[in-house]
Amino acid sequence: MKSLGHAFVVFAFMALLTVHFDTGLLASFTDKTPRAVRGIDTVIRTGLESWLGHANTLALLAFLTLLLPVVVYFRNSRDHRQSQTEPATVTPARVRRVVAPTPKPDIRPEDKQFMMDLLEGVIGQVERGREMMKANERPKPFVRLVPKVPILPGAAPRSWFGGKPSLPAGTEWPTCDGKPAAFLAQIDCSSLPADLWDGAGPRSGWLSFFLGYENGSLAAKILHTQSPGAPVQAPSLIDFDWLYLRERPSWDWTSLARKDVPQWPVDVVWVSFKEEDPLVRPKRDDDNNPRFVRYRTGFDLNEPGWKPFDWATTLLMLDTATAHARETIRRQRKYLEGATRNLEQLSTNPGRYGDPDAARKQAEDQAARAIESASAWKTCLPQVEALRAEVAAEAASRPFSEVLVDDLIATLAAMTMPDRNREQIAQAFPTVCPPQASALWLTDWATLAQHHATHLYAADPRALPPAWREKVEEQAAFDAQREMGAMREVPDGYVHEFAMGSDVTLLQLPTSHLMNWIWGDTYDLVLTAPRADLVLGEFGRVKVQITN
């Protein structure tokens, strides 16, 4: 029992640590984060997250949550057995086995060479990483690409991220492995300081950056054009493989997210000294992040900054409700399958359960709840789909009406079903999102609505009502401070292939909520090239890497 108790304590501690790392649980009980919790956060971020990234660190902690209790249990059990061993008979043969030296296995020359090459490679990476860190302690002057917030309506940008490139007539769209490459950014070279890259590279015209895959690896195409031309549409649909908010098979609502990135104007800012860098280094638990504020405080769908404001957002709201109903039905079906399996196991092998009667009752209750909930949602789903069809028909024949939206919200709020305990009636689609709520249809709506409104704002801020515009600008300003691009000498972050002194960083783009793109596990995309190529105006040897 003592071994089992130790194992349980280790499991509980690791489970709590894993949940806290992903959700900040331990910091949510008090207004001020305890010093011990801040210490734990610092250790994890410095020792693991900075090395492995958030998702990999979470996976490692989950794995250790399962592994360590098993190790503790068997180790304690072994120690307990050893402490109760009976005196053993010592024979001459046993003495010889203990005293005789263990023969060392021969190491093949090729294995030894492999280990030496591996060691030299690791040493080389560490040395290169130290070189890059040292260079960025006092970096050469560089350029920050700062997203503009607020965006001035009607002002034509000279440099921008995402959207469409502006190319002279007749310019061919770059391809990678025969497919159109995805457009990333277009930068006005006349705004680049003369000292950037020690004077190499163009200072007139525009650089347009594209990204794709060649032979399974990331590849970049760069065009240098002397005139901006007109906005150009890609010759065919491009699957942008690096979307932050993207469709996930298990979440129906994610299919409603846009499949492109917005066009966002940027300012080219010259940074002579590191202290002048306008970039705000992001913190995972930043209390000022409007997203976190909304999570902590909740919101009301009837508020002007959350209510649909045109036909597109009204249909999006109904689509979100429909997706939530479908997801819930599928989730209840899985609950029923799990309860059914447990009941089958109880009937064939009740001995594996400590209290078969209690386990059977729990499984039966879970099955009954799942059946009742799925039935209620199956009744609700056609009603929402019918509402959606009615609104789509009205959208095609009449102007948008806020009164109609109010009626729709009231209709959704009136749809009910049994609560989790099957004792009371609950709203299927509540109109108030409580603080720190998750897995509600309103949390999906908040993400999608903000995402949709941000795209509209980037295209024309005047397309949003004042309340929505204020909300989008607040979040965009926060993100823009932390999600700036760069054109510099040495990448800000480690990349495997970079020749110090002879390569330069053409473009560095961070993972960005604002632009809805993600590189690796929330790292940076880095495009580098030999400085000698820039002197000649050539961009054929650009390397594409992701910082780590």
Q: Which residues contact 459 (CB under 8 A, 6 or more apart)?
A: 262, 263
- Amino acid 17: pLDDT: 82
Which residues, in sequence order, are bridge partners of residue 505? 488, 528
Which of 75-89, 95-109, 500-514 is predicted most confidently? 500-514
Whether the CB-CB separation of 233 and 165 falls below 8 Å is answered with: no
- Amino acid 350: pLDDT: 84
Lowest mean pLDDT among 50-54, 77-81, 390-394: 77-81
- Amino acid 126: pLDDT: 76
Q: State the CB neighbour count (10 A cutoff) for residue 354.
A: 7
Q: How far apart are CA 141 and CA 144, in angstroms?
A: 10
Confidence of residue 27 (pLDDT cuts 50, 70, 90): low
Coil, helix or strand for 409? Answer: helix
Confidence of residue 65 (pLDDT cuts 50, 70, 90): confident
Q: State the CB neighbour count (10 A cutoff) for residue 408.
A: 19
* Greater pLDDT, 252 or 509: 509
pLDDT at 372 over 80: yes
Which residues, in sequence order, are bridge partners of residue 213? 218
Which of 34-43, 114-123, 349-358 is predicted most confidently? 349-358
CATH fold of the domain at 142-282+483-546: Hypothetical protein YwqG fold (2.30.320)
For residue 282, say if its preceding peptide bond is cis, omega within 30 degrees of 0: no
Q: How far apart are CA 26 and CA 432, in angstroms?
A: 26
Q: How far apart are CA 297 and CA 237, in angstroms?
A: 40
- Amino acid 367: pLDDT: 93
* Greater pLDDT, 96 or 312: 312
Q: How far apart are CA 41 and CA 23, in angstroms?
A: 12
Confidence of residue 155 (pLDDT cuts 50, 70, 90): confident
Within 13 Å, how many C-alpha atoms sit on residue 95's CB side? 4
**Which class for 168: exposed (0-12), middle (13-18), buried (19 or more C-beta within 10 A)?**
middle
User: What are the C-alpha distances in Å from 72 to residues 44, 61, 84, 105, 373?
Assistant: 22, 16, 19, 31, 41
pLDDT at 98 over 60: no
Q: What value does the mean pLDDT take over residues 13-26? A: 74
Element (H, E) at 392: helix 356-395
- Amino acid 534: pLDDT: 96
Q: How far apart are CA 252 and CA 222, in angstroms?
A: 37
Structure tokens belonging to residue 233: 């549409």
Q: What is the DSSP letter of 191?
A: G
The 10s digit of each residue's pLDDT in 260-282 is 999 999 999 999 999 999 999 87
* Greater pLDDT, 23 or 272: 272
**Percent of the chain having pLDDT more than 70?**
86
- Amino acid 26: pLDDT: 64
Radius of gyration of the chain, Cα coordinates, nearest whole angstrom: 30
pLDDT at 24 over 70: no
- Amino acid 122: pLDDT: 73
pLDDT at 134 over 70: yes
Closest listed residue to residue 539, CA positions, set 111, 219, 319: 219
Q: Chain-wide mean pLDDT for the chain? A: 87
* Greater pLDDT, 541 or 64: 541
pLDDT at 226 over 60: yes
Q: What value does the mean pLDDT take over residues 344-354? A: 86
User: Domain boundaries in the chain?
Assistant: 2-82, 142-282+483-546, 299-479
Lowest mean pLDDT among 69-78, 211-220, 280-289, 395-404: 69-78
Q: How far apart are CA 505 and CA 542, in angstroms?
A: 10
Whether the CB-CB separation of 305 and 467 falls below 8 Å is answered with: yes
Structure tokens belonging to residue 105: 């296995």
Which residues, in sequence order, are bridge partners of residue 231? 166
pLDDT at 7 over 90: no
Q: What value does the mean pLDDT take over residues 4-31? A: 71
Whether the CB-CB separation of 175 and 216 falls below 8 Å is answered with: no
For residue 399, say if its preceding peptide bond is cis, omega within 30 degrees of 0: no
Q: How far apart are CA 243 and CA 247, in angstroms?
A: 9
- Amino acid 299: pLDDT: 94
Whether the CB-CB separation of 173 and 180 falls below 8 Å is answered with: yes
- Cα 338-340-343 angle, rounded to 5 deg: 115
Confidence of residue 374 (pLDDT cuts 50, 70, 90): very high
The 10s digit of each residue's pLDDT in 518-534 is 999 889 999 999 999 99
Structure tokens belonging to residue 380: 């609700």
Residue in this structure with the two tokens 């959208």, named with its chain if needed: 395
Closest listed residue to residue 297, CA positions, set 289, 253, 429: 289
- Spacing of C-alpha 484 from chain mean position: 17
Q: How far apart are CA 385 and CA 404, in angstroms?
A: 16
The 10s digit of each residue's pLDDT in 427-482 is 899 999 999 887 789 999 999 999 999 999 999 999 999 999 999 999 999 999 99
- Amino acid 213: pLDDT: 96
Q: How far apart are CA 479 and CA 12, in angstroms?
A: 36
Q: How far apart are CA 463 and CA 490, in angstroms?
A: 40
Element (H, E) at 531: helix 531-536
Structure tokens belonging to residue 322: 């429909």
pLDDT at 363 over 70: yes
Phi/psi at 522 (5° precision): 60, 40
pLDDT at 61 over 90: no
Which residues, in sequence order, are bridge partners of residue 460? none
SS (H, E, C) 483-544: CCEEEECCCCCCCCCCCCCCEEEEEEEECECCCCECCCCCCEEEEEEEHHHHHHCCCCCCEE
User: Rounded to a whole number, what is the distance in angstroms from the first to the last CA of the chain?
Assistant: 44
- Amino acid 31: pLDDT: 44
- pTM value is 0.77
Residue in this structure with the two tokens 């031309």, named with its chain if needed: 229
Structure tokens belonging to residue 440: 């509600």
Confidence of residue 1 (pLDDT cuts 50, 70, 90): low
